[in-house]
Structures are given as structure tokens and as C-alpha cells.
Structure 1
Amino acid sequence: MICNGHGEDFIALRVLEAVHRRHPQLPLEVMPLVGQGRAFADAVRAGWLQRIGPTATLPSGGFSNQSLRGLLRDLRAGLPLLSWGQWRLVQRRAHQGRFLVAVGDLLPLLMAWASGAGFGFIGTPKSDYTWRSGPGRNLSDRYHRLKGSEWDPWEWILMRSKRCQWVAMRDQLTARGLRRHRVAAQAPGNPMMDGLQRKTIPKALERCRRVLVLCGSRMPEAQANFDRLLKAIGLVQSAVPMGFLVAAGAEPSPEGFRRSLEQQGFRRSLPPSDQLNAESCWVKGPCMLLIGRSCFDSWSGWSEVGLATAGTATEQLVGLGIPALSLPGPGPQFKASFARRQSRLLGGSVEPCSSPIALATALERLLADADLRRRLGQIGQRRMGASGGSDRLAKLILDHLH
């Protein structure tokens, strides 16, 4: 499996887990093209998955396609040499008779196609909902409308290859758009929603309004995102206790969180319950802020609203029926253009805000209006789709191999 992004790593892992459950003896390998592939660490330690290929953490965080400056920085950091090493390894695996699955967009698709091997393609980042939602006045929207698909003609050609055994898209709308261009695309389900569900609120949080905070995990952007979100949290006016649940990954570090919180006047406290699995607890007035590592699966199911500067995790949150507010910054990932695109993809269930004070005001409005939260949540659920996609994709892979 070849994947080119942190969100793509998560999707690849879900599918690989489903394949392993169905066929435990099948040798499985994954090659992350971007970053270190940390999402696969537990599976590699367990011994059922092998992570292969050269890896590197690039300055753009894998978003060199969003700016010329990011691309130039990646080129100076060794992107050509990294890609060449990955390409040579894909070629060797193809010559050994491996079946390849590309997860992402053009780069893994091109690698799989050029290898000469049979392959499948899971197209994750593009959806026709993006250009079919909203005003559609800019040049990009007109271009997509003209060709009738978010995917481009050179990608259609690769997907129509005789060696491409199947193509899976994230939603039926996008799959229909590709079928009009003679690509036999299907939409077996969205692996991003597998394993997530709304959960019973623990007693320690019953008295609080519960807001999930997602600042991303790519440094130094994640720390800057958290600082801006924290400034907005400090502006929220509330007569009832507020619980802000910061679901963090490996970064930012505990020290980075501590500096930011102390600068904003928060003081350290004991978590209200050990069952929350919080790394630390901070309080200021009616606000309690919990920081937890790898807590997204449980904390997302407790929340009412999200504050987000993340990609995949934000989509998962609204897929649970929980609306979110975003606060774009200088990037390289979560810029204003990315936030607008994400909002359109998710039908407005994520609302970009222009400043910390605008976000604080929007949060107060959203918490006060249960009907609005429900309507936006229903839109997010429709756009993301139901769970079960990983298992259906695993069946697709195994049926082909058999």
C-alpha cells in the first residue's frame, strides 16, 4: 500500500487492519510517501505489518502542492532524492509480483501505474461536493464544472488503465462523476468513519458544555494553531462551566502547551476524573481545559461542538454529527483557502472564522442553538457517509487477490 499524507496514512491503516482481520497470514507492507508513517507504529510493533521505504519529514508537511515556497523548501530538503528512492522500491516490489494499492491522489496513483504491476486505487482527498457546493464563481470551480469532476483528465487516464483493477472514491457523487468519463469508480464507504461513535458522557463532564479542540500535529504549525485557538477560548463569555477537550497527537509537546496556557493565565489543576485519560488539566474562570494524547476516538463522541485547525480529524468529527468552527492561519496546511475548501466539502458543517473574537462569538451562538447544531451535524453526517468502508475495501482487495 502506497499512501501520500497523514490523513491517507490513517485510511490506509484502517483498510490494512480490516485485511489483516480477514486474512491474518497475508504479508502486508506499507510505504508512506510523506512523513515518518507514525500511524503504522503499533501495527509494525505487533509484527503483522511491515513499513518500507525511505522516509523524511519535509518542511511543507506534505503540502508542497499548495505553494511555490513550500515546494522550493521541499526540493532543498531532498524531495527529489526521497522520491527517487521510493520509486525504485515500488519498481522492485512490482517485479516481485506484488499487488499495489495506491491511497491518495496523483503521486501514489502515478507510482502504481508506472510500476507495471496490477493495482487498485483509493482516491481520498477529492470530492465533487467541493465544487458543487457554494457560489462556484472562481476559476477553479468553473474548471471542475467544465470537466464534470474534481479529478483531472490525466488522472482519468491512469484510472482507466487495464492494470487498474478497481477504483474506490469517498462518496457516490464523486464516483458518478468519474463514471461519466469511463472510469469504473465505486464508493464502498468512507474508512474515516470506522470505529467512531457518539458515546455516553462521563459524570465528570455532565455539568460542562463540551468543546473538542483540534490543533493538528505538524510542528511548528500545530503550536501556532493552538495559540490562536486558545486566544479565542479566552474570549468566550459563559455563565456555565466550559470543558475544552484538546485531543492532541504526538505534538505539540507538554512543554509547548504549558507555556501557552500559562501565558494566557491558565493554572494547572487535577483532572476531575482519572477515567478521562487526560495528560493535564488547566483552569481559568469557568473554563476547564483538558489535554489528552490519542484521545480523539473517545473525546470526539462526548463533544457538542469542535474548534478545529486540522484536516482528517475535522472531517471525522462532523461525520459524527458534531458541527465545528475553524480558524485558518498562515499555514502551510490550514490556510484560509484550505479552510474554505474544507467547509464547502462538508456542506458548511465547518464554519471558517476570520479572527479569534469571531470564533468566540460563533461558538457562543452555536452552543446556544441546539437546532442549528443538529441541522449542521446532519449535513456533516450525510457528506461523510456511514462507517464500514474499511471492511468493504478489504473484501475488494482480497476478492481480487483470490
Structure 2
Amino acid sequence: NARDINHGKNQDLTSLGIKAIDNLTLVIETEHPAPYLPHVVSFGDAFPVPKWAVEKHGRKWTDGGNIVTNSGFKIKEWVRGSHMTFVPDPNYNGPNQPYLEQVIHPFRDQAAANILPYETNEVDIENVDLSEVDRIRNDPVLSKELVQMSNPATWYLFFRTQAPPFNDIRVREALSRSINREAIVQAVLRGVATPAYSMLPPGFEDYDGPAYKPIQQFNPKRAAQLMAEAGYPRGRGFPKQELWLRAPDPTTRRVAVAIQSMVKETLGVDLELRSSDDTAYMNALFGWQMNIGFINFGADYLDPRNMLDMTWRSQPKGAGRQDWVNGTFDNLLQQAIQITDAARRTQLYKQAERTLVSDYAAAFVYHPQGLQLRKPWVKGYKKHPDGNVGRHFDYTKIYIAK
């Protein structure tokens, strides 16, 4: 009954199918088998919050002295715009008692971020901007302290597929094949990304991007041919388009400029970059007001439902990100969310994603990665088999080696 309750069709909250049968047990009754449920309840939005704390403090329940968390740390100090300080919570009685006596998290404006505090040992961990990458890689000390972080996300171009000119699949394919993803990753992103040919990024068990590469890869000759077949040889007669960008940082803007240049060179099509703040962008996105936009989606959890179903399943204006509709895709997703057989479920999701890629609902561009500098004495985080480390790690397991 969750959908009806969320949409106001059912006011009886007792029919929701969620019950706390004791202080440590939550029972969730679903309308159908839901193999993705463990991922959902482990996501941050599902962390338990004590009702009494919210009722007592109202809108200030998240303030440092009020918030009650689930971890072994508590907030000692929160100086807005400056830093947060965490210390072990003496009331915590769960597993993984913290090793660290204190964690200080400074806040810095991204535009002003640099690695000087790291080099002077003011901080032990520092995020790295792409502008610093070459210098770090050429430094004999810093290069050894640089770690690459996995980041299950995808940047892509989406189209308004129910209105000209992008209701023509030839135009959508032409745009996709005019983009040299490898060049963008190497020249613009300094190799700190993976070329994208699918919605699901590396890190997902069902990631199959290389299999879809022949469908969307850079092919300027075919791109120009398709555009001519669609009635726009060398871009003649093609309406000028705005490429919407969501509050772009310098890296996003550089990628957009590269796409703009590639599309112009290959197709003769002009894309005017239009930057918009978050609110205006999201209103236009869900209102289907953009012909073409550039956006990313980061996985909330590593189940295909999150990035395929929640993002691309057909929904009405105001509820769905894109106006793309494909009955085959929707049917495959509907089957997949109810199946507990892992192999069959994977097969259905791969069929669905191939449908998405082949219909050019989007031109997938890159899967981002992250870089951090970490002092050699910071221990307790693990490397994945691919050499990457987690973007977020559990501070209760981190310790300082002597």
C-alpha cells in the first residue's frame, strides 16, 4: 500500500505493512518478492531515527548537541562553515567500537580547494581536484599517497524523445556517435573516469558496458550519415539547441565544451550551453522542458533497479526525469523486480539495459571516479580487486599506525 499512501489515496497508516514488533526488530511486508529490499534498507535514508529526538527538538533535531546517530561517534562540535568534530560516543554499545579519539572534518569551498593543507600535514586525507592531478602524479612522494576511488555513477546526455528533432532515433544515434568518450576521459578528465556506454557503471555486478560499446561508440562517419538521412546534412536546417547544465562545476563545464565542439565538428550542429541552478534545472527536467541536457545519476545502492527502474521506467510528466517511453523496457523491469532467481533477474536487466542503449534514450558519456590523498599512517580501509578504494569508508575501522 506504500504507493497509495504516498499519493494520498490511502490515509490508513496502519495498512502500510511496516511494524516494529520489538525494540530491535522491524518487519516489512511487501506486495511482491523484493530481492532489492536489503539494499534499500541499508541506504542512508532508511537509517533509524528516534522519534522522541525529533519531537523534542523539532527542526533542530540534527544540530550537534541534539542528533542521535547509529554510529560509534557523536558530534562534539559543529561550527557551520568551518568544521565538524566527532568523538567516540560513550553510550554506543554496538559492534566496531571506534579506534580514533577524534575526527575533525573541515569544510572548504570547492573552488578554493587545494592540497596545501595536506602537504603541510594539517589534514590526513584530502580530496584531489583534477587541476592538481598531473603535479601529484609527477611527485615522488605524493604519487605514492594517491588513491583512486570507485564512484558508481553515470554522466549522460538525455533527449526529449517525444518532440522534434529528437523523436527521430537517427538524430539521437548521431549525437551519441559524434562523442569521443575516450578523448574526453583522457584529455579532459585526466584518466580519472571510465568511458560510458551503459547506464550501469563499474561496481555493479550486472555492469556490461563493454558489450554495449558497439552500439554507442564514436563513429563520425556513421554519425554524419545518420544526420543526413534524417534531413540535416552537415547540420543544415537543424534547429539550434540549448544543452542544459545543472549548476556546473569547472570539470562539468569542460566536458560540456568538449561535447559541444565534437558535435559541431562531426555534425555541424550548434549546441549552446545553458547553465542553470539546481532548482530551475530540476523543475525543467521533471517538466520535460529540455530538448537535451547533461546530468549524472549516482547509485543509491548497487542493485540495477536503482539506476534503471527509478530513472528510466515510463512515468508521467512531473514524476519522471525523461519523457522516453518503451513498452519492452518497462515490461522487462516489471518482471525483474519480482524475481528472486539471481541469474534470471540479471538476464532480464541486461535485456532491459540493451533496449535502453539501443533506443538511444541517452548518450552515455562517462563513469566518474575520485582521487584522494591519504597519509601512509592512515590505516583500516580496504582496496578492491581493481585497485580502487571505497569513496566512503567506515571511520570506526580507521586507525593511525605508529
TM-score of the two chains, using structure 2 as the length reference = 0.28
| Structure index of larger Rg | 2
Which structure has the highest helix share of the two?
A: 1
TM-score of the two chains, using structure 1 as the length reference = 0.28
Name the structure, 1 or 2, with higher relative contact order (CA <8 Å, separation 6+): 2
